[in-house]
Amino acid sequence: MISIGIFGAAGRMGQTIAAVATEAGLGLAGGTDRAGSGEIAPGIPITTDVAALAQASDVLIDFSVPGALSAHLDACIAAHKPILIGTTGLEPVHHALIDQAALVIPVLQTGNTSLGVNLLAALVEQAAAGLGDDWDIEIVEMHHRHKVDAPSGTALLLGEAAARGRGIDLADHSERGRDGITGARAKGAIGFAALRGGSVAGD
């Protein structure tokens, strides 16, 4: 049986993954979180010892915070364990760390692990390539009030797909946080609007 370790075990995604793994009969090695208290499942504590968790697990899943990523990657490298990274809000420095780690251990990083969303991204890329910049792209997403990053990882995943379809760099063509008299929308821009409120899981 595969033994799964969860970084960010006390968060919403960490708790959901633990519940799904338990229901599916998968093994849980444990979990870590900054507070290091509580249980990921009955009799399986949440600690702060990332190195011990990496050693005890066959595979690690990270849905924590960007600031913890470096320590999590170091622990996985030291233990020679693969990691799936679903943490969002990552900056270029984090992606550089991920690229370095991927030279040593298996790493899967994505803004969304849903098969449907990744299929949607492929369709967005095709549409953007076929329609050209006479068509405006606007990505509007809604998440619960506790989400700390914006745009969401899923929104950025779709934005990157659209940018690939157009053969452009998203960072150079992204429009966010419009307020006041912003002037006309730039041709070829990929716009983002992030809404936050209530308990919406993600739309």
Only one residue has tokens 């799936």, namely 84
Burial track 45-63 (b if 16+ CB lie within 10 A, e otherwise): ebbeebebbbeebebbbbb
Q: How many CA atoms lie within 13 A of 60 on its CB side?
A: 34
Active site residue 147: yes
The DSSP-derived string for 27-64 is EEEEEE-SS--SEEETTEEEES-HHHHHHH-SEEEE-S
Residue type for position 201: A
Please identify which of the residues 81, 147, 173, 187 carries the catalytic annotation: 147
Pairwise CA distance, residues 203 & 200, whole Å: 7
Out of 143, 146, 173, 187, the active site residue is 143
Residue 95 C-alpha from the chain's centroid: 12
- Catalytic residue list contains 143: yes
Which residues are part of the catalytic machinery? 143, 147
